[in-house]
Amino acid sequence: MTQPLPTSDKHDDRDGGLNWPRIVGLSFVIAIHAAALLLLLAPVAPPGQENQDEDVTRVVIIEPPPPPPPPPPPPPEPPKPQEIKQLAPPQPSPIPPPPEEPPVVFDEPSPMDTQAPPPAPPAPKPPPGPSYNANDLRASICSKPSMGTMVRAMQQAGIDSAEMSLHLSFTADGSVTSVSVAKSSRNRDLDRAAQSWARGVKLCPGASGEGILPVVFNMSG
């Protein structure tokens, strides 16, 4: 017995039939290339930009017209006629006063005309005063006050004799200006009494200066 060969529903493409998967792949590739070409040919600006440019409102500034020129100045007024002044009648010229009498001239000179006598020559400078010994002014004393205050101070101190030295400053006329103790008598009351007595001392006039005045107290002698 012979068995029938199995029949196949698939058609062999090699026998001249259509290859559909290949056709579909080629179509897809062609579609991709076409889309890329359209993108290259498309305009750069988006489609809505033209509409936006058209929607922009244009503002035009209208300048106002220039002001009109000022009116011309009014014409000058004609000069007014001057009034004719009435001439005053001529007046008589005043009579000149009589001439003054000439002054009386005296031949005798007045006290104002005499010249003043020449000034008197300057008085001669006084001769310099006597020199003094700055270490001992006792020879330069011209007058001295009473020594009663020093006597009472010695009696109160209970002493009979004392020695001290005073420093004097004096002017050119002999007045004593200041007194200080150069050597003390060792008794404060006696030193004060001696300073008070020395302020009343008058030296002989001469040059101003300063010096030492020795003072010796001796009640027994």
Report the pLDDT value the prediction gives residue 17, as an integer from 0 to 100: 61
Per-residue 3-state assignment (H helix, E strand, C coil) for the chain: CCCCCCCCCCCCHHHCCCCHHHHHHHHHHHHHHHHHHHHHHCCCCCCCHHHHHHHCCCCCCCCCCCCCCCCCCCCCCCCCCCCCCCCCCCCCCCCCCCCCCCCCCCCCCCCCCCCCCCCCCCCCCCCCCCCCCCCCHHHHEEECCCCHHHHHHHHHHCCCEEEEEEEEEECCCCEEEEEEEEECCCCHHHHHHHHHHHCCCEECCCCCEEEEEEEEEECCC
When mean pLDDT is compared across 2-11, 17-26, 122-131, the lowest value belongs to 2-11
Report the pLDDT value the prediction gives residue 177, as an integer from 0 to 100: 93
Report the pLDDT value the prediction gives residue 8, as an integer from 0 to 100: 46
When mean pLDDT is compared across 25-29, 54-58, 175-179, 202-206, the lowest value belongs to 54-58
Note the pTM of the prediction, 2 decimals: 0.42
* Mean pLDDT computed over 143-159: 86
**36-89 confidence digits (pLDDT tens):** 888 777 665 555 555 555 555 666 677 777 778 888 888 787 777 676 666 666
